């Protein structure tokens, strides 16, 4: 929004039609609210578009979309040999925080030169789940297969 203030001439700016008090550049689309408007409709749209962006990032990291190409919606859902659901924001934060804490704890006792990939496991209510950094998914996948006696790489 700061850059709009510099680039856009004053006569292109409008009062946001929703009455939120913003004075700025109207966005395209049906509602034509100002950029940065925090009404329910606009913030919902913002959350959805952040979700799409995050989902596209996950699709790239999972190898479902070739690097250099943009992830189209749905493409990442149909392609590939696994099923995934990406979450961001309020739902994701507690998971990320728990993962960070457990990883830091493990890091503190990691022997020098131990480069094995890290997996955090959580056990409660009869469910045991694993959380890992997608950036290390290939090393981790290979390690898990080796642990189970598969001959890989
Ligand atoms: Zn508004
Ligand atoms: Zn709005």
Distance between Cα 60 and ligand 2 center (Å):
31
Distance between Cα 79 and ligand 2 center (Å):
35
Nearest ligand by distance to the CA of 15: 1
Distance between Cα 28 and ligand 1 center (Å):
13
CA distances 80 to 29, 64, 88, 101, Å, are 33, 6, 21, 31
Distance between Cα 35 and ligand 1 center (Å):
8
Distance between Cα 49 and ligand 2 center (Å):
15
Distance between Cα 90 and ligand 1 center (Å):
23
CA distances 134 to 46, 65, 88, 130, Å, are 25, 15, 14, 12
Six token digits for residue 74 = 């749905």
First to last CA, the chain: 50
* Contact assessment for residue 99 and residue 92, using Cβ atoms and an 8 Å cutoff: no
Distance between Cα 38 and ligand 1 center (Å):
6
User: According to the model, what pLDDT value does residue 86 have?
Assistant: 92
Nearest ligand by distance to the CA of 24: 1
pLDDT digits (tens, 9 = 90+) for 40-99: 888 888 888 888 889 888 988 988 887 777 777 665 556 578 888 999 989 999 999 999
Question: What is the distance between the alpha carbons of residues 136 and 91, in angstroms, rounded to a whole number?
Answer: 22
- Output the pTM of the full model: 0.72
pLDDT digits (tens, 9 = 90+) for 10-40: 667 889 988 888 898 887 677 789 888 888 8
């Amino acid at each position: 929004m700061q850059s709009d203030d510099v680039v856009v001439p004053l006569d292109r700016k409008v009062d946001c039609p929703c009455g939120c008090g913003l004075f700025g550049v109207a966005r395209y689309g049906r509602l034509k609210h100002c950029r940065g408007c925090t009404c329910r409709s606009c913030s919902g749209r913002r959350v959805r578009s952040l979700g799409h962006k995050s989902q596209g990032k996950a699709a790239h990291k999972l190898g479902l979309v070739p690097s250099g190409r943009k992830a189209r919606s749905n493409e990442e859902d149909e392609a590939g040999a696994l099923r995934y659901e990406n979450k961001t924001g309020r739902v994701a934060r507690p998971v990320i925080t728990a993962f960070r804490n457990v990883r830091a704890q493990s890091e503190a006792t990691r022997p020098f030169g131990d480069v094995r990939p890290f997996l955090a496991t959580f056990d409660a209510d009869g469910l045991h789940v694993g959380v890992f950094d997608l950036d290390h998914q290939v090393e981790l996948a290979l390690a898990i297969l080796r642990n189970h006696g598969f001959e890989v790489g």
